[in-house]
Chain A
Amino acid sequence: MPNSRIKVPESAAAGESIEIRAMIMHPMENGFNFDSQGTTIPVHIITDFVCTYDGAEIVRVQLQPGLSANPYFSFYLTATRSGAVDFKWTDQDGTVTTNSAQLQVT
């Protein structure tokens, strides 16, 4: 399971828009690179990223090989109530990577 990094503020005021940052370590092979033997490395990417909070999807990204290696996303959510912010990355081979953080809403 690839290593992932997330950044969620520990606390937020209700109704506040807070920045969330998420990144996963992944080569995102675009199919145009070659290995040391000169053979093409096939496409190997993360295809889907979802962030869920308070029972609803905040953002869903459908990734293509045009995104950089170690895909990074910065987005904003509206804080409504204390709870978990869940992150899920789906690889094209079906591998699912999850990460989670607690958000305290005051």
Chain B
Amino acid sequence: MTDRAAPELRDGAGLDGRRNLSRRSAMLGIGGGVLLSMVALPGIAGDEDTAAAIKQLYGNREPTAGRLSLQLPALAESGNSVPLTLTVDSPMTATDRVLRASVFANRNPRPLIATVLFGPKYGTPTFGTNIRLSGTQDVIAVAEMSDHSLWSAQVRVLVTVGACDALQLRY
């Protein structure tokens, strides 16, 4: 009862208007924020989607950072083709080699970019390709060794023009 009475005591004639205004502007701010996020969000994956994509391919195990490196430009002018080189620290012998590796982009509409399966006669454990990036984001690589241990690497890439939105803006 005292809790309910307390606000009534604070409601002065002058204070009421000011409080209503601040509440309204707060609501406007929240509404605007919701609208903005609704405009910006479609087609952009989150960290949960990336984690789900990793889980779908590699199961519930948590990858350890290390034993593989990603070479990407720090700044990419166009997200349509970003050169990527994946290097795994592995002796590539019959018993100790890399089995497979995947590349993910955590803000692409589809986080998974490609999965590479390495055969027993693979040479130097380096693989290069060109990827698409929808904007500035982290590129994550996950590799599984022949002892089924999981390793990961993460690189931040600044993208000036993304691969997905450039054409949509034109029409």
Contact = CB atoms under 8 A, between A and B. Distances in A.
A and B form one complex: yes
Contacts, number: 111
Interface string B139-171: 000000000000000000000000111011011
Interface residues of A, number: 34
Contacts of A66: 103, 105, 108, 110, 112-114, 131-132
B117 A60 contact: yes
B: contact size bracket = 35 or more
A61 B128 contact: no
A66 B43 CA distance: 13
B123 A18 contact: yes
A38 to B, nearest CB: 5
Interface of B: 43, 80-82, 85, 92, 103, 105, 108-110, 112-132, 163-165, 167-168, 170-171
Interface of A: 16-19, 30, 32-34, 38, 53-54, 56-69, 71-78, 80
Given A57-B119, A64-B113, A67-B129, 13 more contacts: A16-B123, A17-B124, A30-B163, A33-B167, A34-B170, A59-B118, A64-B114, A67-B131, A68-B130, A72-B129, A73-B128, A74-B127, A78-B122
